[in-house]
A and B are shown apart, each in its own frame.
Chain A
Amino acid sequence: MNERTMLSEERHFENMIQAESICTAENLVYERPGTLLDVTMHYCPGCGHGVAHRLLMEVVDELGIQSQTIGIAPVGCSVFAYNYMNIDMQEAAHGRATAAATGIKRVLPEKYVFTYQGDGDLAAIGTGETIHTCNRGENILIVFINNGVYGMTGGQMAPTTLPGMKTTTSPYGRDVKVQGYPLKIADIVATLPGSFYVTRQAVHTPAYVRKAKKAMLKSFQYQKLGKGTCFIEIVSNCPSNWKMTPVESNRWVKEHMLPYYPLGDLKVPSEKETAQ
């Protein structure tokens, strides 16, 4: 613990009494989105899943589409996403979220449909579903949380694990000669004619959080156009399995994940394509 964290709480309360409170409704600039249920999430402290959940629900709230949105939860740490997002949700078998989303969107085209998946789910067991869904250009949003490991099952190597990165199943570091190279699934998806908007974002600093939210907002607006699949990769952390503190893990995202997974748009629709 650093020095400033040791300062007394009592001082905090003294300050509160002295100063006239500005905590009134008209001064409110940020609060938890209403569509994120008022419960404590099961994620480890500092896990990027929480930020991604919150951003999605902020966007759903801002667009006023709570009753028109259907989410598909994956298998992985975010398997309980339906306990936190106050919208209609469907749980899918491991890796099959985009297949489930395809069915739901085709039967209910008037709904906004998104999947929320980890890298083990989307880029390992579900690679086939992912690629074919994007290739068919299903009008859904895919939110892909890339933390470089299988978080839920104890930090095994994922297709996205970085070269040399130590995991429980690559204790000496990923050897690309044996286990191949990290799969840049967003880059692959961007080459498919069915994908409409493909972007890679992160949530480790306030500025990137704002950008990630903008990408989500855009994706829902694009879904209204019905012109193809939107794909948002979020390069995230897994402090528990990376065996780091949350602050260290975010630093690791910046120093190790981002050089391999550079942030930014991989496919942007032209103005003509987005004209309504």
Chain B
Amino acid sequence: MAKVKGDIVIDIEKCKGCELCVEACPQETLGLSKKVNSRGYLYVVKIQDNCTGCVNCALVCPDAVLKVYRKTLGKENPVAVVSNVTQDLTLTVNK
């Protein structure tokens, strides 16, 4: 299997330190900070550099704090965001 490397970017000011992402991360990449943000919340930080970009953390985050990146190493084609929308969704009405 090709090696996958992931990374996340944390919007510290939006994080409320709920730890749902910490719980959801299969890699134990995440933990809480020692400092607080301007709202007084501990925020999420990476405590290990072993993220695989699986997106679990971002999926459960109620505050949309996390941006996730993923790269398949040794492969030119990057993983792209694919939408499965193929239909035209314009609603037409016969009046």
- A: residues with CB less than 8 A from B are 1, 4-9, 11-12, 15-16, 18-19, 21-24, 26-33, 36, 40-41, 43-51, 54, 62-65, 68, 109-112, 203-206, 209-210, 217, 220-221, 223-224, 239, 245-247, 250
Given that A9-B45, A46-B18, A247-B23 are contacting pairs, would A29 and B55 also be in contact in the complex, using a CB cutoff of 8 Å?
yes
Q: B15: shortest Cβ distance to chain A, in Å?
A: 9
User: Bound complex: CA of A9 vs CA of B84, how far in Å?
Assistant: 38
User: Can you list 8 contacts pairing A with B, beta carbon distance less than 8 Å?
Assistant: A15-B49, A23-B69, A27-B70, A29-B68, A36-B64, A48-B62, A62-B85, A246-B19
Query: Bound state CA distance, A8 and B26, in angstroms?
Result: 20
With beta carbons under 8 angstroms apart, the residue of B13, B28, B62, B66 that contacts A30 is B66
Across the interface, A220 reaches (CB within 8 A) one of B17, B71, B89, namely: B89
Q: Is the CB of B87 within 8 A of A43?
A: no
Q: Are A47 and B55 in contact (CB under 8 A)?
A: no
Number of B interface residues at 8 Å Cβ cutoff, please give it: 57
Which residues of the partner chain A approach B33 to less than 8 Å between Cβ atoms? 9
**Known contacts A22-B7, A29-B68, A220-B89: does B78 contact A5 (CB below 8 Å)?**
no
Q: Choose among B7, B56, B83 the residue that contacts A206 (Cβ–Cβ < 8 A).
A: B56
A-contacting residues, B67-95, CB 8 Å: 67-71, 78-81, 83-85, 87, 89-93
20 extra A-B contacts, CB within 8 A, seeds A28-B67, A210-B59: A5-B47, A9-B33, A9-B45, A16-B49, A22-B70, A23-B7, A27-B79, A28-B69, A29-B68, A30-B68, A32-B64, A46-B20, A46-B62, A51-B60, A54-B62, A64-B89, A110-B93, A209-B59, A247-B18, A250-B20
**A68 x B90 contact (CB < 8 A):** yes
Among all A-B residue pairs, the 8 with the closest Cβ atoms: A50-B62, A46-B18, A45-B16, A5-B31, A45-B18, A15-B49, A30-B68, A32-B64
Partner of A50, one of B58, B63, B80: B63
- In the bound complex, do residue B18 and residue A27 qualify as a contact, i.e. CB atoms below 8 Å apart? no
